[in-house]
A and B are shown apart, each in its own frame.
Chain A
Amino acid sequence: MMRALSTAETAPTTHPWVIHAQGLQVRAGRHLAVNGLDLTLNTGVHGLLGPNGAGKTTLMRALATVVAPSGGRLTLLGQSVDGRADLRPVRRALGYLPQHFGFYPRFTVREFVAYMAWLKEMPKARIPAAVQRSIDRVGLTAKADARLKTLSGGMLRRAGIAQAIVNDPQVLLLDEPTVGLDPEQRLDFRELLRDLGTDSCVLVSTHLVEDVAAACTDVVLVNEGRLVWQGTTEVLIAQGDQSHAGDSAAERGYSAILRRHRAEAAR
């Protein structure tokens, strides 16, 4: 007797990569913002760097399953993500902070995070404790019962992080999470990132090379929709010297790689 096997049954129980993209193509409008990108990521904190228009946000949106890839292959947690697949199991293990974080202003922080937990289909009994924990982790405990519309920009960003991590995601995608945070909060946030990276795959898209250098275990550099460079933070720092633009070693490394890549592309 024959029967169709469900995706869950055919998927390997242990997947070699949490995020695996091969020749990935994603459209942003009519334009291919991600064009033939190959990327493999596992547990840890990964910084996604690249100039404006490099396709960072589009890549994040594809990884977050907002937009379906228009070409290539993308697997998350061992499961293929394309237009037809049942995305629910993957989405349960996903946390996402979009670049423009939309929220319900009349909800309190606690309510909104609980609402997101419910949308992520967490077991009902676990929600209250998980909400409290995630709010504590982003340092919003004192503001937990304040309405979102009363929060400042930095607090809103942290509320956004809280909703992203409430379900202890295996894949956590943060698009410019440090915007609006003051220096002290950024230090706390780096601490949180290191903590989160111990058992999930965290991808942080940012323009702040400093944050990447301080909190990320490795760096992904994209330009014009392709992967330019991937390696550890130490190696990134080692790429640059005083001849490159930048105020810190990491910034100089970033500039060095990008300049080299542009030079190669121009040839």
Chain B
Amino acid sequence: MNILGIELRRSAALGAALTTVVVGVGAIYVETGRWSSGWMPLAMTIREYLLLLWPLALAAGAWQGRREHRAKVGELFATTPRPRAQRMLPVLGAMAITLPVAYLLVTGAGIIWIINTAQHLPLLNFTVVTGVGALSLIAAAWLGLGIGRMLPALVTAPALAVAGVLLVFLSAIRLDDRLAAALNPVHGSSLFHPYQTIDNRVSGALAISTAALAVTGLLLFVAGSWRARTAAVVPLVLGFTAAIAVVPRDPDVLNWPVDPVARELVCTDDTPTVCVSRIHANVLEALTPLAREGLTVLAKLPNAPTAVHEDTQTFWLDEVRPRRSDAVTIPVWIDERGKLAHPNAVLPEIVKRLGVSYDMQCQNRDGVVERAAAYWLLGREPQSDVGVVPGFVFEDPEINAEAVMLWQGLRELPDDEALARVTAVRDALLVCADISGILPGRSAR
């Protein structure tokens, strides 16, 4: 009869793994929109939920670590020849099997959701990020086993669980970036932009500190004396020091680095060209007709743009790209099924700035004028951005009222005249000149 098999069935390892699967799958499926866009977002979202899973594994370990004390088998086991360290191995093994399997099952449950939509798979990064996540569960469980055996009281497990939550949470938000990146399994997993990844060097440092934590837990668990328990701290100190020493210093590598391959544009073969980032490549087909429709609307203007590109600039990256007049850049949203979200927003997004991409440095913009001109091109009455632009929840009604007024002014003009005015607005936008006086009915500032 296999002892490891017995421990797999009878120890807390199985229950802990089941709870991990339930909590993990539940957590990711509560909001699939957070990670439906691809493989790395999935891997990182699950890593973020270590905020819940890590303390769970810690508490499960502590619960299990109390077993010999609780069952009062100390006297009986003291008469057996097998050394204590060997006696502890099956439990350590059971935890080290079930918890990573649970983590992988959660990952698998997420993969099922995205398998048909996600196309960009950076296999190495995905494997490393997932692997380190699974490893950190082993470390948590082993540490829990060690502490639970050292302090075999009923209060140990709940106290450790709460302490674990606070530890992971506070060290993620309070610690210096380098320390957090080297020690905290949650660091860098919150998604701030779609092309985000975790650098393998950062994962390497985290793997070192996590492995050190696991070794300390193991030594605590097999230790028979307080001297041995004190010695168990040594690997922890060494591992943490090594991890902090090797973790990269560059903040752009530590925090929300961009996967350049994911951000690369992939385009349609035929014209007019429509391009999206590689991570969103699966929505290109759905986006293309909508984008081309927008280009057709813009084509009324002379020298209109002939291509639509996804806006791959991110708020978190400081770089400024040259403004292009031949291509419109628009944001691409992904829905919770990994498909194109807000298809109705594509046309307004292309037309609303008359094809001129937004430049954070240019202060000479006038939303009212732009909206009136854009809706004249669309041939519709201007409407509030609320309900048109995703995520927009409030707008001063004055703005649209003014836009409608300007739009009516444009409509009263002969078509040629109106087109000339709208073109003038576009040209002014391109060079970042004042546009407020161009349309009739609105005075210059």
Interface residues of A, Cβ cutoff 8 Å to B: 61, 64-66, 87-89, 91-92, 94, 96, 98, 100-107, 110-111, 114-116, 118-121, 127-128, 131, 163
Query: Contacting chain A: which of B68-76, B138-146, B410-418?
Result: B68-76
Total A-B contacts with CB atoms under 8 angstroms apart = 68
B6 on the A face (CB < 8 A)? yes
Contact of B72 among A65, A100, A110 (CB under 8 A): A100
B67 on the A face (CB < 8 A)? yes
B249 on the A face (CB < 8 A)? no
Question: Are the C-beta atoms of B74 and A94 separated by less than 8 Å?
Answer: no
Question: Are the C-beta atoms of B10 and A96 separated by less than 8 Å?
Answer: no
Question: Are the C-beta atoms of B1 and A102 separated by less than 8 Å?
Answer: no
The 8 closest A-B pairs by CB, nearest first: A102-B72, A102-B73, A91-B81, A119-B80, A88-B81, A114-B1, A64-B79, A96-B79
| Cα(A238)–Cα(B184), bound, Å | 77
| Cα(A94)–Cα(B71), bound, Å | 21
List B contacts of A102 (CB < 8 A). 71-76
Interface residues of B in 237-273 (CB under 8 A from A): none
Would you mind naming 19 contact pairs between A and B with Cβ atoms under 8 Å apart? Answer: A64-B78, A66-B75, A66-B78, A94-B79, A96-B76, A98-B75, A98-B76, A100-B72, A102-B71, A103-B73, A104-B10, A104-B67, A104-B71, A104-B73, A107-B10, A111-B6, A116-B76, A121-B80, A121-B82
B192 on the A face (CB < 8 A)? no
Instruction: Looking at the assembled complex, report how far the CB atom of A205 sits from the nearest CB atom of chain B, in whole angstroms.
Output: 14
List B contacts of A61 (CB < 8 A). 75
B4-42 near A? 1/0 per residue, CB < 8 Å: 001001100000000000000000000000000000000
- Chain B residue at minimal CB-CB distance from A67: B78
Q: Which of the listed residues A92, A105, A107 has the most CB atoms from chain B within 10 Å of its own CB?
A: A107
Chain B contact residues, majority secondary structure: helix
Instruction: Looking at the assembled complex, report how far the CB atom of B428 sits from the nearest CB atom of chain A, in whole angstroms.
Output: 78
Contact of A91 among B10, B73, B80 (CB under 8 A): B80
B87 on the A face (CB < 8 A)? yes
Instruction: Looking at the assembled complex, report how far the CB atom of B18 sits from the nearest CB atom of chain A, in whole angstroms.
Output: 15
Contact of A110 among B1, B76, B81, B87 (CB under 8 A): B1
B316 on the A face (CB < 8 A)? no
A-B contacts besides A111-B9, A119-B87, 6 pairs, CB < 8 Å? A64-B79, A102-B71, A104-B10, A111-B6, A118-B82, A119-B81
| Cα(A104)–Cα(B87), bound, Å | 14
| Cα(A65)–Cα(B77), bound, Å | 11
Question: Are the C-beta atoms of B76 and A131 separated by less than 8 Å?
Answer: no
Question: Are the C-beta atoms of A101 and B76 separated by less than 8 Å?
Answer: yes
Known: A100-B72, A102-B74, A127-B1. A65 touches B79 (CB 8 A): yes
B3 on the A face (CB < 8 A)? yes
Interface residues of B in 82-116 (CB under 8 A from A): 82, 87
Question: Are the C-beta atoms of A119 and B82 separated by less than 8 Å?
Answer: yes
Question: Are the C-beta atoms of A120 and B82 separated by less than 8 Å?
Answer: yes
Contact of B81 among A92, A106, A127, A131 (CB under 8 A): A92
Question: Are the C-beta atoms of A105 and B81 separated by less than 8 Å?
Answer: no
Question: Are the C-beta atoms of A120 and B73 separated by less than 8 Å?
Answer: no
List A contacts of B75 (CB < 8 A). 61, 66, 98, 100, 102
Question: Are the C-beta atoms of A114 and B80 separated by less than 8 Å?
Answer: no
List A contacts of B10 (CB < 8 A). 104, 106-107, 111
List A contacts of B74 (CB < 8 A). 102
| Cα(A106)–Cα(B71), bound, Å | 10
List A contacts of B73 (CB < 8 A). 102-104
| Cα(A105)–Cα(B72), bound, Å | 11
List A contacts of B82 (CB < 8 A). 118-121
Contact of A111 among B1, B78, B80 (CB under 8 A): B1
List B contacts of A65 (CB < 8 A). 78-79
| Cα(A100)–Cα(B79), bound, Å | 14
List A contacts of B80 (CB < 8 A). 91, 116, 119-121
| Cα(A120)–Cα(B1), bound, Å | 14
Known: A96-B76, A100-B75, A104-B71. A114 touches B81 (CB 8 A): no
Question: Are the C-beta atoms of A114 and B76 separated by less than 8 Å?
Answer: no
Contact of A66 among B6, B72, B79 (CB under 8 A): B79
Known: A106-B10, A107-B10. A87 touches B81 (CB 8 A): yes
Known: A65-B78, A121-B82. A114 touches B6 (CB 8 A): yes
Known: A100-B72, A104-B73. A128 touches B1 (CB 8 A): yes
List B contacts of A107 (CB < 8 A). 6, 10
| Cα(A88)–Cα(B81), bound, Å | 4
Question: Are the C-beta atoms of B3 and A114 separated by less than 8 Å?
Answer: yes
| Cα(A116)–Cα(B78), bound, Å | 11
List A contacts of B81 (CB < 8 A). 87-89, 91-92, 119-121
B54-77 near A? 1/0 per residue, CB < 8 Å: 000000000000010001111111
Instruction: Looking at the assembled complex, report how far the CB atom of A150 sits from the nearest CB atom of chain B, in whole angstroms.
Output: 14
- Chain B residue at minimal CB-CB distance from A91: B81
Q: Which of the listed residues A65, A89, A101, A102 has the most CB atoms from chain B within 10 Å of its own CB?
A: A102
